[in-house]
Amino acid sequence: MNTHSDLEPGFEAAIRQTMATRSPYWSLLGIELLKIKKGWAKLHLPFDKKLTHPYGIAHGGAIFSLADSAVAMALLGVVAPEDKFVTVEMKINYLSTFTDGALTAEACIVHQGRQTALGDVDVRNEAGHLIAKGTATYMIIKGLQTPDG
């Protein structure tokens, strides 16, 4: 049963616009936001040769980036708009290789306190097989101003 509620109207569109225009790292890797709700998100990463290492399989860093980004999007839906957050710690287990097709990362926030949050993420291939499993801890910074205001 999905208990994650929808975001306020327009907020998801604003997040999509921000990630499309202000996240060059996502563009570099090819990450796309599929869906976001309060405390839950699903992202997509197509296989691309630019993601591989010499063995022809996707580099673990690309999969890690997808997983970390999915948890961040899930958290974005529940923190106050004026708050920022950063990854403090993340652990991932790689269970299989990624050599073609696409991956999806589905993340949810399993605990949110005043200063930290814990997220869980599953990364699966198109057949639904678990490729990686991760957990991430984020520090929530109340009212942090970014360089662009």
Give the closest residue to 138 by CA, choosing from 92, 86, 81, 100: 86
Tens-place pLDDT, residues 77-111: 999 989 999 999 999 999 999 999 999 999 999 99
- 9 HSE (CA, 13 A, CB side): 0
Mean pLDDT of 105-121: 97
Domains and CATH numbers, the chain: 11-141 (3.10.129.10)
Q: Please tell me whether the overall predicted TM-score, pTM, comes out greater than 0.85 for this model.
A: yes
Q: How far apart are the first and last CA of the chain?
A: 39
DSSP secondary structure of 112-147? E-SSEEEEEEEEEETT--EEEEEEEEEEEETTPPPT
Q: What is the pLDDT of residues 40-63, one digit of tens each?
A: 999 999 999 999 999 999 999 999
Strands 130-141 and 102-112: unpaired
> Quick one: average pLDDT of 3-16?
87
Helices (H) and strands (E) in the chain, counts: 3, 6
Task: Give the integer Cα–Cα distance in Å for 83 and 73.
Answer: 14
Which pLDDT belongs to residue 8?
85
Side-chain half-sphere CA neighbours of 57 within 13 A: 9
